[in-house]
Amino acid sequence: MSTTGSGGNKPKRSFTPLIQVFEPHKAQTPPLIPYFKEFWERRAFALELARFADKAEYLESRLGKAWLILNPLFLSLIYFLLVTVLRGGPNKDTGLSTLAHILIGIFMFYFAQNIISDGAQSITAGGRLILNQAFPRALLPFSSAVRAFGQFWPTIPTYFAVVLLGKVFYPKTHIPLADLNYLWAPFIIAALAITAFGLSLIFAVMNVYFRDTSKLLTYTTRIWLYGSPVLWKPEMLHGWHRIFIYINPLGPTLAATYHVWIDGVRPSNSELIGTGVWVVLAMAIGTYFFTSRERDFAVRI
């Protein structure tokens, strides 16, 4: 509609607001290009949500964010003592390597675990936002992934500090502190984060329909830890048993972590292929499963 003002003024146009109507449906994805475009435009919302949730959780804690490092550090020491006892006592040649392996493995695994666990609860925890605001719901698991990365990155300096201190007492232990193969580390961390985020989308949907999913994940991730090359070396599996590394969504990435951080060598081709396959599978299945069900969340919550 247009109106012409007096005195030869130019016509003024009035625009009606855009109204979006979301109807419940089953197993039908929305147009993905507009969806991802809106997701990217609202990324600042996810970043602020992650920052707010992080402050809210540790606001009343005296140790605060220091506990984010102390918790996996203490767990690594406990697992180290357990592993060395089972092996018949510590070895001065391999003790520091074992500790470093468990340390970086625990840090990486807990990074993925936090993305999956927090992402699985993000939809049910953000029920009020979902009922009152229209936005891509994948922003909620994404904010959990951002928050998990904020909790993860301080552990990397902690790893180097522990290894550097250990080399003072065991200088002959071969653990690289400066190596070109560390250039693989950002790609490995990114692949682990993307795989975990794809899995968090799947578990987030499951938690909407089955509220005990988040509780079940507590026990599942513990078994998952024991089945991953964190407390044991990838070379301990031989022959067809090595398939257990590659059927584990986090297995190839954690095996590559061991080779880069402890052995100082590049990941094997099979580890790179396995990592790439799980990145694609987790994101493809997770994206389809999540986006095809997200309009049903308001009804289920």
Contact criterion met (CB below 8 Å) for 152 and 69 = no
**Which pLDDT does position 199 carry in this prediction?**
96
Contact criterion met (CB below 8 Å) for 135 and 45 = yes
**Which pLDDT does position 2 carry in this prediction?**
44
Q: Where are the domains of the chain?
A: 27-300
Name the pTM for this structure.
Answer: 0.84
Q: What is the residue-level pLDDT of the chain in tens, covering all 301 positions?
A: 444 444 455 555 555 555 555 555 555 777 888 888 988 888 888 888 888 776 666 645 666 667 777 878 888 888 888 877 666 555 655 778 888 999 999 999 999 999 999 999 988 888 788 877 778 888 999 999 999 998 898 889 989 988 888 887 777 778 887 778 889 999 999 999 999 999 999 999 999 888 888 888 989 999 999 999 998 999 888 888 899 999 999 999 999 999 999 988 999 999 999 999 999 999 999 999 999 888 888 777 7
52: DSSP letter:
H
Single out the residue of 162, 189, 181, 188 nearest to residue 260, CA to CA: 181
**How many CA atoms lie less than 13 Å away from 120 in the CB half-sphere?**
22
Neighbours of 221 (CB within 10 A): 17
Contact criterion met (CB below 8 Å) for 294 and 210 = no
Single out the residue of 79, 267, 80, 66 nearest to residue 166, CA to CA: 80
**Which pLDDT does position 108 carry in this prediction?**
95
How open is the CA angle 203-190-270, to the nearest 5 degrees? 90
**Which pLDDT does position 214 carry in this prediction?**
84
**Which pLDDT does position 42 carry in this prediction?**
87
Q: Nearest 5°: phi and psi at 229? A: -75, 65
